[in-house]
Amino acid sequence: MINFTVGPVQSSDRVRQIGGMNVPYFRTPEFSEILLENEGLIKEFTNAEQEARALFITGSGTASMEAAVMNCFTRDDKVLIVNGGSFGQRFVDICKIHEIPHEEIKVESGKNLLESQLGSFENQGFTGFLVNIHETSTGVHYNTNLIADFCKRNHCFLIVDAISSFLADEFDMKATGADVMITGSQKALACPPGISIIVLSANAVNRVQSNEVKSLYFDLKNALKDGVRGQTPFTPAVGVLLQINARLHEIKENGGATGEQEKIAYLASYFRNRIKDLPLSIYSESFSNAVTSLETHNVSALEICKVLKDEYGIWVCPNGGALGEKVFRVGHIGCLTTGDYDVLINALDDLVRRGILK
């Protein structure tokens, strides 16, 4: 199988080799060193300030989305949420459960967030802002500067879910003034699922330290304290943390976050340039390098995903819900080459010849 989904994605040989080994005991100075190294490299790749912290949470990306909201906001906040798809809706659901006062900016599926849509929310007393900078369900990448400027003007605490965007699109904690950035192991980090990462600015660390959280596992104060010595309060996904370490070194050796972004951007443009003659159109208005979402016209998108899987050994990413019949996604993250895209394009050409893709 060749995997073009948006996670889990294909891993490098070095990362896969670690997956075949026994998982070591972790309350050791050797493991602490690895965790501290992971924190340092994540901070480097997000350009976080010196006093920022990176926490490794054992749980999928949603665990860190929920932990970030629980630890950074209270019932005294008023949070604005960009909701342009299923991940935006997830932040809305989290705020509802934890009774964080919030309002939504509804963005039409596949469309970008416009400056004019933010206008009516200026000077309305918002204290926080939640955005999935790449709304992976539709492939839309929102304008980071537009959001960062709004937050600076309105003094909003900004939490950015960059789970599928980190390493695929440019992102800079200091330049955007973001207080929190979240990512996960199974997207462009190209490791197995199981770990999500929360980068906290110095301001965010202060907020976490002074908030009461009604949770044992998700109270980040303990994670902050143990993290100082390279440890975690509970048993983490040790093997995945070792794989993340190998992968971060691999990225560092190949030009850092910028080198990885360039590689992913190159694969994305290689694919996009070669599908122009196919009966498919690009669904999203402003896209991330991580994924291309494609709209079918006279055939079910789910059917295309199924035929590619069953007859060609290729996974592309189906959409859930209302978009399922008309949109599928092709990812550009993970260990992929232009040769892999040639295989996919040949398969799509073949589907046209067979009259399946029309």
* Nearer to ligand PLP (CB atom), residue 88 or residue 128: 88
> Is 240 an interacting residue with respect to ligand PLP (CB under 6 A)?
no
> Is 7 an interacting residue with respect to ligand PLP (CB under 6 A)?
yes
* Nearer to ligand PLP (CB atom), residue 128 or residue 192: 192
Q: What are phi and psi of 83, to 5 degrees?
A: -120, 95
164-to-118, 146, 188, 204, 279 alpha-carbon distances in Å: 24, 19, 7, 22, 27
Question: Least distance in Å: CB of 48 to ligand PLP?
Answer: 19
Question: Least distance in Å: CB of 123 to ligand PLP?
Answer: 29
**Alpha helices, H only, 191-324:** 202-210, 220-227, 238-253, 256-274, 301-312
Question: Least distance in Å: CB of 62 to ligand PLP?
Answer: 3
Residues 177 to 196: which contact ligand PLP by CB under 6 A? Answer: 184, 187
Among 55, 56, 61, 189, binds ligand PLP (CB under 6 A): 61
Per-residue H/E/C for 47-76: CCCCCCEEEEEECCHHHHHHHHHHHHCCCC
Residues 86 to 125: which contact ligand PLP by CB under 6 A? Answer: 87
Alpha-carbon gap, residue 69 to 100, rounded angstroms: 8
* Nearer to ligand PLP (CB atom), residue 142 or residue 341: 142
> Is 32 an interacting residue with respect to ligand PLP (CB under 6 A)?
no
122's tokens: 């200026």
Q: How many residues sit in the footprint of ligand PLP (CB under 6 A)?
A: 13
Q: How many helices (H) and strands (E) does the chain have?
A: 13, 15
* Nearer to ligand PLP (CB atom), residue 12 or residue 86: 86
Q: How far apart are the first and last CA of the chain?
A: 24
Question: Least distance in Å: CB of 89 to ligand PLP?
Answer: 11
* Nearer to ligand PLP (CB atom), residue 60 or residue 300: 60
Q: What are phi and psi of 94, to 5 degrees?
A: -65, -45
Alpha-carbon gap, residue 358 to 271, rounded angstroms: 19
Question: Least distance in Å: CB of 29 to ligand PLP?
Answer: 31
Q: Alpha-carbon torsion 259, 19, 58, 223, what sign?
A: negative
Q: Which stretch binds ligand PLP (CB under 6 A): 59-67, 98-106, 258-266, 269-277?
A: 59-67
Among 54, 163, 180, 188, binds ligand PLP (CB under 6 A): 163
**Cβ–Cβ under 8 Å, residues 145 and 135:** no
278-to-74, 143, 328, 355 alpha-carbon distances in Å: 50, 29, 14, 12
* Nearer to ligand PLP (CB atom), residue 38 or residue 89: 89
Task: Provide the 3-class DSSP secondary structure of residue 124.
Answer: coil
> Is 143 an interacting residue with respect to ligand PLP (CB under 6 A)?
no
Among 136, 138, 293, 296, binds ligand PLP (CB under 6 A): 136
> Is 161 an interacting residue with respect to ligand PLP (CB under 6 A)?
yes
> Is 171 an interacting residue with respect to ligand PLP (CB under 6 A)?
no
Alpha-carbon gap, residue 298 to 277, rounded angstroms: 15
Residue nearest to ligand PLP (CB): 61
> Is 287 an interacting residue with respect to ligand PLP (CB under 6 A)?
no
CA angle at 305 for the pair 303 and 306, rounded to the nearest 5°: 65
**Cβ–Cβ under 8 Å, residues 29 and 341:** no
Question: Least distance in Å: CB of 136 to ligand PLP?
Answer: 3
> Is 164 an interacting residue with respect to ligand PLP (CB under 6 A)?
yes
Residues that bind ligand PLP (CB under 6 A): 7, 60-62, 87, 132, 134, 136, 161, 163-164, 184, 187
